[in-house]
A and B are shown apart, each in its own frame.
Chain A
Amino acid sequence: QVQLVQSGAEVKEPGSSVKVSCKVSGGISSSYTITWVRQGPGQGLEWMGRIIPIIGTPNYAQTFQGRVTISADTSTSTAYMELSSLRSEDTAVYYCARVTGKGMDVWGQGTTVTVSS
């Protein structure tokens, strides 16, 4: 059974960048997409972008264009999400999820990113 395991919590200063990893146990396949979703404190789910790991071309939500970079390393079965120019409003839990024809069917445990000076 596929599992997504994310890197640990991060505390960052405003203006810096954060890179969150998402390791896919069971290997990366061409049959699905890895997507990133964030959730601010007490807020709803917000889609950030996605990548088909085998192909490598990402697709980003307009809200995050120019600030987010999603990538994947098939040799280590790991996907990454890097967010730059951090501000306090980026404080959130960041999730990776596998997307198949059944929707986002497997989720990582979430990574808390706190932006504070």
Chain B
Amino acid sequence: QSVLTQPPSVSGAPGQRVTISCTGSSSNIGAGYDVHWYQQLPGTAPKLLVYGNINRPSGVPDRFSDSKSDTSASLAITGLQAEDEADYYCQSYDSSLSGYVFGTGTKVTVL
């Protein structure tokens, strides 16, 4: 089971800003491990969206940004576009489990 909790869904109109939370604990996010975010379009493999602290791979627009505080992290999407409709996952490392952990996933719907 996932140890990082995300809301099942978020939605917004085109142009709006939406945020996705990722709640962990003292053995993962709270321990200072990096949080990474992935976007998964229907029927495709996940794609790295944001890594570490506000770092984006080449080609990812700056509409995507993240933040981290205590045992939680958040992904923000500004200027929401139809192409942003996808599933989003956070990911970190957990020292108690000695391995990587994923969030439960959030489906973003563009109204």
Instruction: Give which listed residue, B45, B52, B57, B97, contacts A61 with CB less than 8 A.
Output: B97
* Residue pair A102, B99 in contact (C-beta under 8 Å): no
Q: How large is the interface on A (under 10, 10 to 19, 20 to 34, 35 or more residues)?
A: 20 to 34
Work out how many contacts link A and B, with CB atoms closer than 8 A. Answer: 64
A78 to B27, CA, bound (A): 32
| Residue of A60, A99, A103 with most chain B CB atoms under a 10 A cut-off | A103
Given A46-B102, A59-B98, verify A103-B91 contact (CB < 8 Å).
yes
Whether B48 lies near A50 (C-beta < 8 A) is no
Among A24-32, A81-89, A107-115, the stretch that binds chain B is: A107-115
A102 to chain B, nearest CB (A): 4
Chain A nearest CB, measured from B99 CB (Å): 5
Question: Are A47 and B101 in contact, with the CB atoms below 8 A?
Answer: yes
Interface of A is mostly: strand
A103 and B53 alpha carbons, distance in the complex (Å) = 11
* Other-chain residue from B52, B91, B98, B105 in contact with A104 (beta carbon distance below 8 A): B91
A33 → chain B, closest Cβ, in Å?
Answer: 10
Interface residues of B in 12-50 (CB under 8 A from A): 34, 36, 38, 40, 45-48
Interface: A95 (CB within 8 A): yes
